[in-house]
Amino acid sequence: MMQDEQDPKTTEESSIASRPVSRRQFLKYAGLAGAAIGASGALGGILSACGGEEETTTTAAPGTTVAAGPTPPAQDKFVIGGARPISGMYAMFEQAHFGPAYKIWVDDMNAAGGINIAGKKLPVELKVYDDQSDLDTCMRLMTKLMEEDKVDWLLGPQSTAFLFAGAGLAQSRGYVLCSAEGGATTLEAEMAKGSLPLFFQFLNYSNHYQLPVFAEIMQELGAKTVSIVYLEDLHGIEYSSQAQLFFPSAGIEILSSTSIPFGIKDVSSIVKKWQGENPDVVCGFVYPEQYILVLQTMIQLDYNPKAYLAGPGGSTEVVYNVFQGAADGIMFEGAWSPKQSPAAQAYYEKFIAKVGDKANVDFWGPLIYGAELEFIQKCIEKAATLDHQKIAEVLRTAHFPTIMSDDMFMTAQILDRSCYAGQIGQWQNGYPQVIDPGAKRTAEIWYPKPTWKEAAKSSTSSTT
Amino acid sequence: MNIKRLTPARWAASGLLLVVFIVLSLLPTLTQGYLVTLLTDILRYVVLTVGWMIFSGPTNYMSLATAAFYGVGFYIAAVFNGPLPFVAVIIIAGAVSFVMALVVGALTLRLRGVYFAIFTFALTLMVTSVVLEVERVVTGTRGRFVVTESTQTAYYAMLIVTIVTLVMAVLIRRSRYGLALQSIGQYEEAAAHSGINVVLTKVMVFAASAFVMGMAGAIIATRRTYIDPGIAFSLNTSFWPVLMALFGGMGNLVGPVIGAAVFTYLGELLLTRFPDLYMLIFGVVLILAIAFMPRGIVGLAEQVWGKIRGGRGAPA
């Protein structure tokens, strides 16, 4: 404590009682009084605001509500808004995943004269802001799109965490939000509570139904043991914990489950551990940066499990090409194949034209996004209104054919399992094949997969 | 009351302050649009910047622990909002950040200069990793949903915290702690020799600044629905307040307030109007500001005002 000063509290109290107030003191008290008035006003506000459970914002409902019969909206365009990662660490998703999909959608709608709302075709306009791959910025821009720009439709944000935050935000403003690159089991619990009636999940994920299908495939192949490496992020933690549920119930023993952080530079100890464990299958619930590192290490140590399941990015040809064909036989979370149907092939070609290079095409999300956006458009047109509550009702119950499925529909606000082109894929001679059990399988499974050396020699590495 | 000694400028400043607070208090009743959201965001940065300035301004200790204290507020809101009243959650968030800063400060405020800056930076990384690991082991997931509050509630809460922050900053600045901090900033050894308990002073003020940062975090978390360690402890939160304080000027409390407000609004404007040129323009503005406005916007304004007054008073 400072020894050479008087106690200011004592001095102040006595001076107030006995002496005229100085200019300095007056200013202090005036400032405090002003602050107190402001604080009391604000306190009143917060108390009253705390009393209400719901948003009082009245700008929530976008567009016009049709009271009876389809009445065309007065507006002359349909504005689609989005806060997307044009820059930052997630920019690749905007460039090569959901980004091209929604741009193709808008191009197609405008080529057809616009979106048909109650008999009136409205040209579609895009209003997309850069969220810089930052959640704070993304939420602020989504709020701006809904409250200030009052867009007619909102695109889903990138990544599961953004989607989780965005779902609640859109719900509070009365906007429907459909998933883009994201989805996880934790959101199901919120939906089950009924707190997100305007949210719809299209992309597949761990328990919906990638890991159950993968467990079925392993059972079919007679695999008995698995070792797992996963990243300490939402995806990795989710998939590893879901594996703990689905693998043992399919009779597959998990020998080890090892977490790794972002930025890891050496996984040789993990690969050596697998060599000791000798599992039938290795699952890598990691992103391309770690996936490349893990595979390079396995190749260097000449460790060849019978099967390897790759996480996000394992489904893109650009990542496959890193290994010059040695990745043939790798399984991936996904999945679709251009030759599954003429519609899938046509969409694949359209996608290449949009992204400029076939190496940038992903065989997990794009077909789902294309079908999702087509489905959304049909639901909006069927609702014949821009009222999001009514559009949500149609989304919940409608059945429409799309490029991915002859009968696309939602079950409890999540795309039904039957609608997906596939859940698990495998690279075979540089070509993505769907290996789900049943009719969706496009090729027999390579099991055990070729060794790294065999695959590198035999691969032709060509998708087209 | 010695009102005669008040200059017109002081009267105007007091009146302006009062009007600003009244307008801000009434704002949600006048508009219900995006402006309230934007203002909440601006007030958030005012709290963080002034909170940072309370300690780092006079002492010249560059703290990069803002994100750690702010992020703790996020997690307190994620755990307690809903079961406990929102007001209690905000206070708990501030108190936990305060205690955390006390502990951290007591251990580290003997460090100086770049060592202190690096330590506070590392603290944020360490807290992020600890929370991530605890979540992974205990809850088996990475993030948490947060019980949300309405736009109005969050706005009023942030306005109150802003007022608390500003009043606290003024009181500290004018107290013996403020003088002690300035002494420490100018010559720490001399301050210690003159009888100031240097470590205690630094720790208490460091903890006080953490208190308001934690409260701000708790409020903003309720507008995010979902949080995870990467979101809660984003390193941007440590760097933005430093830039905002530099941009506004660190000579007095008005500088950080103006810096935070202009910086946030400018960022918003450029991001939405010039998305392709955003970073370029923002970078150029920052470089120009640092090169030609070493005392920030407020320093420049004072300089211009001084020239105008000097010009008026000059002989013809």
- Indicate yes or no: CB of A259 within 8 angstroms of CB of B37: no
Identify whether the C-beta of residue A124 lies closer than 8 Å to the C-beta of residue A78. Answer: yes
Interchain contact B31–A (C-beta under 8 A): no
Question: Does residue B92 form part of some domain?
Answer: yes
pLDDT band at A188 (very low <50, low <70, confident <90, very high): confident
Nearest-by-Cβ selection for B18 from A34, A39, A232: A34
A76-108 per-position pLDDT tens digit: 999 999 999 998 888 888 988 999 999 999 999
B5: in domain: no
Residue A37 has pLDDT above 70, yes or no: no
Chain B 206-265, CB below 8 Å of chain A: which residues?
220, 223-228, 230-231, 234, 236
Q: What is the pLDDT of residue A52?
A: 39
Facing B28 at nearest CB: one of A26, A45, A52: A45
Inside any domain, residue B281: yes
Query: What is the tally of structural domains in chain B?
Result: 1
Task: Answer whether residue B244 is part of any domain.
Answer: yes
Q: Where are the alpha helices (DSSP H) in A179-307?
A: 185-192, 210-221, 234-249, 268-277, 288-300
> Closest Cα to residue A319, out of A361, A264, A375?
A361
- Of the CA atoms within 13 Å of residue B307, those in its CB half-sphere come to 5
Q: Where are the alpha helices (DSSP H) in A19-157?
A: 23-51, 91-96, 98-111, 135-147
Domain map of chain A by residue range?
78-201+362-419, 210-335+422-458
How many CB atoms are closer than 10 A to CB A208?
A: 20
Pick the CATH number of A210-335+422-458 from 3.40.50.1000, 3.40.50.300, 3.40.50.2300, 3.30.930.10: 3.40.50.2300
Q: Which residues on B lie below 8 Å from A2 (Cβ)? A: 176, 180, 195-197
Indicate yes or no: CB of A34 within 8 angstroms of CB of B14. yes
The answer to whether B195 contacts A259, with C-beta atoms less than 8 Å apart, is no
Per the structure, the complete domain to which residue B188 belongs is given by: 33-313
Q: Which of A140, A144, A179 to mutate to test the interface with B (most CBs of B within 10 A)?
A: A140
CB contact under 8 A, B156 and A46: yes
Q: In this structure, are residues A172 and B148 in contact, taking their beta carbons and an 8 Å threshold? A: yes
DSSP state for residue A408 in the 8-state scheme: B
Q: Does residue B193 belong to the interface with chain A, where contact is any CB pair within 8 Å?
A: no
CA neighbor of B23 nearest in space, from B11, B34, B35: B35
Q: What is the pLDDT of residues A10-33, one digit of tens each?
A: 333 333 333 444 544 544 544 444
Task: Judge whether residue A47 has pLDDT over 60.
Answer: no
Q: Which of A143, A193, A285 to mutate to test the interface with B (most CBs of B within 10 A)?
A: A143
> Could you tell me if B110 lies within 8 Å of chain A, comparing CB atoms?
no
How many Å apart are CA A394 and CA A376, to the nearest integer?
Answer: 9
Rg of the Cα atoms in chain B: 20
Residues of chain B below pLDDT 70: 1-6, 32, 311-316
Any idea which residue has 């919120």 for tokens?
A: A190
Show which of residues 256-295 on chain B sit within 8 Å of chain A, judged by CB atoms: 268, 271-272, 275, 278-279
The angle that helices B254-273 and B296-313 make with each other, rounded to 10 degrees, is: 110
pLDDT higher than 80, residue A38: no
Kindly report the number of other CB atoms within 10 A of residue A217's CB atom: 24
Task: Answer whether B140 sits within 8 Å of A234, measured CB to CB.
Answer: no
What residues contact residue A235 under an 8 Å CB cut-off, 6+ apart? A160, A184, A285, A287, A311, A312
CA distance A1 to chain B (A): 5
Residue A60, pLDDT score:
38
Q: Is the pLDDT of residue A408 over 90?
A: yes
Tokens in use for A46?
């917060």
Contact A61, A69 (CB under 8 A): no
Does residue B185 form part of some domain?
Answer: yes
Q: Are B26 and A190 within 8 A, CB to CB?
A: no
Q: Tens digit of pLDDT for each residue in A156-173?
A: 999 888 998 899 899 989
Which residues of chain A lie closer than 8 angstroms to B10, CB-CB?
A: 23, 27
Predicted pLDDT of residue B208: 96
| Long-range contacts, A345-351 (Cβ 8 Å, 24+) | A346/A403, A347/A403, A350/A104, A351/A100, A351/A101, A351/A104
Whether B38 and chain A come into contact, CB under 8 Å, resolves to: yes
Specify the pLDDT at position B5: 63
Average pLDDT of chain A to the nearest whole number:
85
Q: Is the ipTM of this complex over 0.90?
A: no
Burial class (CB in 10 A: 0-12, 13-18, 19+), A20: exposed
Q: H or E element: which one contains A397?
A: helix A388-397
In a domain, B18, yes or no: no
Quick check: A422 and A413 in contact, CB under 8 A? no
Distance to chain B for A9, nearest Cα, Å: 10
Q: What is the mean pLDDT of residues A274-278?
A: 97
Say whether pLDDT at A463 is over 60: no
In angstroms, what CA-CA distances link B22 with A33, B17, B18, B148, B219? 12, 9, 6, 26, 21
Interface test with A, best of B86, B156, B222, B273 (most A CBs within 10 A): B156
Structure tokens at A400: 């429409």
Contacts of residue A21 in chain B, CB cutoff 8 Å? Answer: 1-2
Q: Report the percent of chain A where pLDDT is more than 90.
A: 66
Q: Would the CA dihedral through A344, A345, A350, A352 be positive or negative?
A: positive
Interchain proximity A37–B22, CB inside 8 Å:
yes
Q: Is the pLDDT of residue A63 over 70?
A: no
Bridge-based pairing state of the strands A120-122 and A115-117: antiparallel
Measured CA to CA in angstroms, residue A363 lies from A92, A344, A405 at distances of: 15, 11, 16
pLDDT of residue A464: 42
User: Is there a shared CATH topology between the A78-201+362-419 domain and the A210-335+422-458 domain?
Assistant: yes
Question: Which tens digit of pLDDT belongs to each residue from A289-333?
Answer: 899 999 999 999 999 999 999 998 899 988 888 887 888 999 999
Residue-wise pLDDT for A341-361, tens only, equals 999 999 999 999 998 888 788
C-beta atoms of B194 and A4 within 8 A: yes
C-alpha–C-alpha distance, residues A425 and A365, integer Å: 12
**Inter-chain contact A168–B225, Cβ cutoff 8 Å?**
yes
Interacting residues of A325 by C-beta distance below 8 A, sequence separation 6+? A430, A455, A456, A458, A459, A460, A461
Phi/psi at A179 (5° precision): -65, 155
The predicted model gives A38-57 an average pLDDT of: 43
Q: Is B5 on the interface with A (CB under 8 A)?
A: yes
A–B: how many Cβ contacts below 8 A? 201
The CATH fold of domain A78-201+362-419:
Rossmann fold (3.40.50)
Q: At residue A275, does pLDDT exceed 90?
A: yes
pTM of the entire structure?
0.81
Mutate: best of A32, A48, A50, partner B, most B CBs <10 A: A50
Sign of CA dihedral A289, A292, A294, A296: negative
Residue A45 and residue B132: Cβ atoms within 8 Å?
A: no
Asked if the Cβ–Cβ distance from A45 to B152 is below 8 Å, we say yes
Q: Would you state the torsion angle of the CA atoms of residues B171, B174, B176, B177, taken in this order, to the nearest 10 degrees?
A: 60
Cβ-Cβ contacts under 8 Å for A317 (sequence gap 6 or more)? A358, A359, A360, A361, A363, A430, A432, A463
Q: What is the predicted pLDDT for the residue at A153?
A: 98
Q: Is A259 within 8 Å of B136 when comparing Cβ atoms?
A: yes
pLDDT for residue B285:
85
Identify the pLDDT of residue B160.
96
Residue A41 has pLDDT above 70, yes or no: no
Q: Are A119 and A70 in contact (CB under 8 A)?
A: yes
Q: Which two tokens stand for residue A181?
A: 């690159």
Interface contact B153-A186, CB threshold 8 A: no
